[in-house]
Copies of this chain bind each other. A is one copy, B any other.
């Protein structure tokens, strides 16, 4: 009893310790902003889905025998196979001794295990990284950042510099620390699209900043309306909000919309006029079905070329990731951001935040290099690489089309044709006049109509989606966000049956 006051030890008796125990924390003791932050993609419905998944494992009697995870863009959790090029190279980075062992084999045996260009790339990366178990520079490995700069220059036709590239643990890590750096004071405003990816509202809430939602136009393929954005800046500035940043998600999550080059140019005009930092979330740039992706960086570079004075102060951060596209390597946490137009002082603060985070996972950095610098024509891995990515592109296209068709046929559902990304965001056109019992039930259960629908969908079919309210929607409208990643069509058939039963039950 080391802790007892001396007198007790002297008495040789066991006493209660000489203090009154304090109570444990309650949520009211915690940072209010962490309480208020919401993240629907892993919110109530997905948490309930995890419980049901356990019940399925334990052979509980349920209406379904598996959970269909359509709530999150997590391709490899479903049936997407990783690209051989990535995984072969990463396996050698993890175990460089194998490179030596391979070098000692005869050529045929070696080639059957690893293509020569994989061994070559792994060796090149190891030369720069040393070991994937060592911390890298906080901004990310120099060789990888140079590759990223080359990739951007080639994609856009305008130069990029490795000094402005920051490798990050997925795009999420970039968003989290960018919004932290920019969130000065409590009345700082971030313009975000509605519907949006809830990481933005969560990060804004964590930093006590103010989200200013601009509505995307569902009737016009979820397009962006610059006039509305100008109006919101005016209104919010008058209310005393210091509007600091404009977030664009292109291709859109959850809408799948692709921004027109002319709209991006007008958004950059707005940023130039109002001194807004443009955060361009372009993680779905490879997931394009219809239309053409043009990067915000390219549009800005074009404008700068024409009029350096007007656009010289525009500050743009573009985000990319290894989690989406045809890579789908969500669990590997690779990504980058490119900063354009920031002053050295400001960039130094962003760099310091990167330092406090030590460094992004080094294998994720290597994966960025493998994504943006793939096998070239004529190299041993080229054919397999192209076969694999074509297959993924085709599968995604086919699934998007199939799911869109299903929604088009469902009663009282409308859904825009997918242009890009991995999601559909159909609208449930349930009105109180024709679905009175549904609205009564939702009111009694304290649920929104879309929450109730998603909950019923999950409990009856095992399909896990996210209510539109988690992303934001025009008041009075109800949506569901679903990925089109789950394989097969059986789950879509189930959803169709569920939906018609639901409509039959509630529609008068």
Contacts and interface: CB of A to CB of B under 8 A. Distances in A.
Contacts of A456: none
A307 B16 contact: yes
Contacts of A42: 138, 355, 358
Contacts of A134: 74-77, 330-331
A244 interface: yes
A237 interface: no
Contact of A20 (B21, B130, B173, B273): B273
A183 interface: yes
Contacts of A353: 34, 37
Interface stretch (A147-155, A340-348, A418-426): A340-348
B76 A131 contact: yes
Contact of A101 (B22, B113, B306): B113
A500 B95 CA distance: 44
A82 B133 contact: yes
Nearest to A137: B50
A325 to B, nearest CB: 12
Contacts of A330: 133-135, 358-359
A176 interface: yes
A246 to B, nearest CB: 12
Nearest to A40: B355
A401 interface: no
Interface string A76-113: 11000010100110111011111001000000000011
Interface stretch (A308-316, A428-436, A471-479): A308-316
Interface string A20-59: 1111111101111011010101110000001000000000
A234 interface: no
Contacts of A87: 94-97
A313 B24 contact: yes
Contact of A90 (B25, B26, B95, B173): B95
A328 B362 CA distance: 14
Contacts of A19: 269, 272-273, 310
B101 A95 contact: no
21 contacts: A2-B261, A3-B269, A3-B303, A16-B307, A17-B310, A24-B342, A25-B275, A25-B346, A27-B345, A29-B346, A42-B355, A43-B355, A87-B95, A87-B97, A101-B112, A133-B329, A133-B330, A134-B330, A136-B331, A169-B333, A333-B360
Given A34-B180, A82-B131, A331-B363, 17 more contacts: A19-B272, A21-B273, A22-B274, A22-B313, A24-B275, A25-B342, A30-B184, A31-B180, A32-B184, A39-B356, A76-B130, A98-B113, A101-B113, A133-B330, A169-B333, A203-B356, A331-B359
In order of increasing CB-CB distance, the 6 nearest A-B pairs are A22-B275, A331-B362, A91-B95, A19-B273, A42-B355, A2-B262
